[in-house]
Amino acid sequence: MTTKSPVNILLVDDQPSKLLTYEVILEGLGERLIKAGSGREALECLLRHDIAVMLVDVVMPELDGFELAAMVRAHPRFRNTAMIFVSALAQTVSDRLKGYEQGAVDYLPVPIMPELLRAKVRVFADLYRKTRQLELFNAELERRVAERTSELARANAELEERVENRTRERENALAQVYKMQKLESLGQLTGGVAHDFNNLLTTMLINLELLSKRHSDDPTSRRLMESAFQSATRGADLVRRMLAFARRQELIPEIFDVGKLIAGMADMLKTSLAPNIRLELQLGSIPFFIRADPGQLELAILNLALNAKDAMPRGGELAIELRPDRPNMEAADRSPGADEGVGIIVRDTGDGMDEATLSRAAEPFFTTKDVGKGTGLGLSMVHGLVSQSNGQIRISSQPGRGTTVELHFALAEPEEPAEPTPETQAASGVETSKTILVVDDDALVAESVSKMLASLGHDTYVANSGARALELVRDRAEIELVLTDQAMPEMTGFELAASIHEIKPSLPVVLGTGCAAASDKNERRLPRLSKPYRETDLRRLIASIVSAPGRKTADRPLAFDLPGSARRRGVGDAAERSRQEKR
């Protein structure tokens, strides 16, 4: 179902003249109108068609509108179908309450105002269309993941068969190479799929937030939108797990006391575990500061705790210990400065794993849980996080003796918190209208972000390419901030930022991306906005990037150390590099 495809509107009334009136009023909406002359015919139409909105007369022979609504709501398939009651009788408060109790989203008196009826039907038709579109996107995501997983499984089987034909020594060497290649290929594939769905989820979340502002007073609309938000959030969570495995998730590293972070998780961990599992924290009194993404580390520890819970159905103990140095790491695993580190040891007394299961434990989509109870991405996500944070991981397990997972990180020097200046204090809480240029090669994303910014009171320009963005920056002196996608054809977001810097060095540029693909030191210094993002993310971004009125836009412009050849290359060579990055 595309964004503009028509949906079915069911008109229910025992008087043909009123059905004709509704048809004339609603025909301009471009939807499919289906007419039913009785409650019985309406039920038959519901079983034959997917109905977005029902317009139901209250007073009808055989089945009146209330009785029809009760039968419709009793069927699981039609539980969320929007129903608007129409009545020519005098309405009392009890009539309206009865209508809403039967599941009506609105109650209209006769004579009907055509503009009012069209507006209400249009709202619920659009909401139905968006909800169905979100369901289709989620189904497509699951289908594509399953399809790619099946292809890789077949390829793995063929490769494993060729490797069993070699000697044991060569087999070990080739298996290691094969495993690395397999994970790299799957990581690239997963990152590509996640990039596409990050754009879809960004569009859906922004449009759902815009709809929620318009229809927040209607309980049924609010429930439907909350359901859609939950589905989109689950999709975003799955994408984050995929990116974590692919080691392309957007991390926001900070220096923090890891013991304090784990202690703050105690209540959440106890709630997540079964009552017959005892949690023991052995954190000591010495602070250990590391540099990592605290939110992602919390998620990794929670994933390990949930895995331990599943491994202890009869109860047991989960211990989380902080240990200085790296006493348990093999010599081959040690890196320079390894002794100046800290280990997070997560140990359970569960069923444990045999060697075959342990060897595959970190493989993406591999799980020993029942269908529907696990994605198989939890442990691979932990691997991805630790690798991106320059740490190391080790897993040991024996059947009947539990599992131990060790996460090792280098120590970092704690940073003193910066004192707020009078200027930043004056700017905090101040929200003024800005002129913002939105750049994204995906037209749906660009349009949605522009509408969200407009709803926050900002003026916007939209460009679907780097070349068009540069034209606007040259011609529109009022532009105060540029929000650009990173992975674009012909010119990446970072290359666009470098070109903008040559034109207007003080103009702030923010990269919007769902992947941590930054490798250049200057690219890492640019402000970034992780996809999919919401209204609160945009508010926080604008507050932190754009200074208060009367202050310079940028005190210290970002210097781009690009070689001369890169400046002369122009758009053509940038396109090839962008294509390589998207692969």
Express each pLDDT in 436-473 by its tens digit: 999 998 888 899 889 989 988 899 999 999 999 999 99
Diameter over CA atoms, the chain: 89
The DSSP H or E segment spanning 96 is: helix 93-101
**What's the fold here for domain 254-410?**
Heat Shock Protein 90 (3.30.565)
Provide the pLDDT confidence category of residue 179 given band limits of 50, 70 and 90: low
Query: How confident is the model at residue 186, as a pLDDT?
Result: 57
Token pair 């961990």: residue: 269
536 vs 24, 38, 154, 442, 541, CA distance in Å?
A: 42, 48, 44, 22, 8
Residue 329 has pLDDT above 70, yes or no: no
Domain with CATH 3.30.565.10 in the chain: 254-410
The region of weakest confidence among 66-75, 412-421, 542-551 is 542-551
Contact 466/491 with Cβ under 8 angstroms? yes
Token pair 């011609």: residue: 475
For residue 54, give the nearest of 106, 114, 113, 132 by alpha carbon.
106
Amino acid symbol at 284: G
Q: Between 379 and 523, whose confidence is greater?
A: 379
pLDDT-above-70 percentage for the chain: 72
Q: Between 481 and 376, whose confidence is greater?
A: 481
Q: Between 413 and 551, whose confidence is greater?
A: 413
Residue 279 has pLDDT above 90, yes or no: yes
Domain with CATH 3.40.50.2300 in the chain: 8-112, 422-582
Q: E strands within 156-258?
A: 254-257
Strand partners, 529: 512
Its sign, for the CA torsion 308, 309, 311, 317, is: positive
Length of the chain: 583
Query: How many other C-beta atoms can be found within 10 angstroms of the C-beta atom of residue 371?
Result: 6
pLDDT digits (tens, 9 = 90+) for 367-404: 555 544 454 455 767 877 787 788 888 889 889 889 99
List the structure tokens of 422.
């009078």
DSSP-derived letter for residue 558 is: P
pLDDT-above-90 percentage for the chain: 25
Query: How many other C-beta atoms can be found within 10 angstroms of the C-beta atom of residue 528?
Result: 19
Provide the pLDDT confidence category of residue 321 given band limits of 50, 70 and 90: very high
Residue 81 φ then ψ, to 5°: -70, 130
Pairing mode, strands 8-12 and 32-36: parallel
> What Rg, from alpha-carbon coordinates, does the chain have?
29
End-to-end CA, the chain = 28
The chain-wide mean pLDDT, for the chain, equals 76
Q: Which residues contact 26 (CB under 8 A, 6 or more apart)?
A: 9, 11, 33, 117, 118, 121
Residue 63 has pLDDT above 90, yes or no: no
Residue 500 has pLDDT above 70, yes or no: yes
| Rounded CA separation 248/518 (Å) | 9
Token pair 């040891």: residue: 345
Residue 507 has pLDDT above 50, yes or no: yes
Query: How confident is the model at residue 211, as a pLDDT?
Result: 81
For residue 85, give the nearest of 77, 76, 94, 95 by alpha carbon.
95
Query: How confident is the model at residue 210, as a pLDDT?
Result: 82
Query: How confident is the model at residue 342, as a pLDDT?
Result: 92
pLDDT digits (tens, 9 = 90+) for 16-54: 999 999 999 999 899 999 999 998 999 999 989 989 999
- CATH 3.40.50.10800, applies to 422-582: no
Q: Which of the four CATH numbers 3.40.50.1220, 1.10.10.10, 3.40.1180.10, 3.40.50.2300 does domain 8-112 have? A: 3.40.50.2300
Contact 21/31 with Cβ under 8 angstroms? no
Q: Between 161 and 40, whose confidence is greater?
A: 40
Provide the pLDDT confidence category of residue 110 given band limits of 50, 70 and 90: confident
Contact 232/211 with Cβ under 8 angstroms? no
Provide the pLDDT confidence category of residue 552 given band limits of 50, 70 and 90: very low
Q: Between 303 and 314, whose confidence is greater?
A: 314
Query: How confident is the model at residue 34, as a pLDDT?
Result: 94
Query: How confident is the model at residue 516, as a pLDDT?
Result: 52
Q: Between 572 and 357, whose confidence is greater?
A: 357
Strand partners, 322: 344
Query: How many other C-beta atoms can be found within 10 angstroms of the C-beta atom of residue 186?
Result: 21
Q: What is the mean pLDDT of residues 238-244?
A: 62
Q: Which residues contact 449 (CB under 8 A, 6 or more apart)?
A: 202, 206, 438, 440, 483, 512, 538
Query: How confident is the model at residue 201, as a pLDDT?
Result: 77
For residue 12, give the nearest of 51, 46, 53, 54 by alpha carbon.
54
The region of weakest confidence among 6-15, 89-98, 221-230, 282-291 is 89-98
Q: What is the mean pLDDT of residues 401-416?
A: 87
Q: Between 154 and 287, whose confidence is greater?
A: 287
Its sign, for the CA torsion 176, 177, 182, 183, is: positive
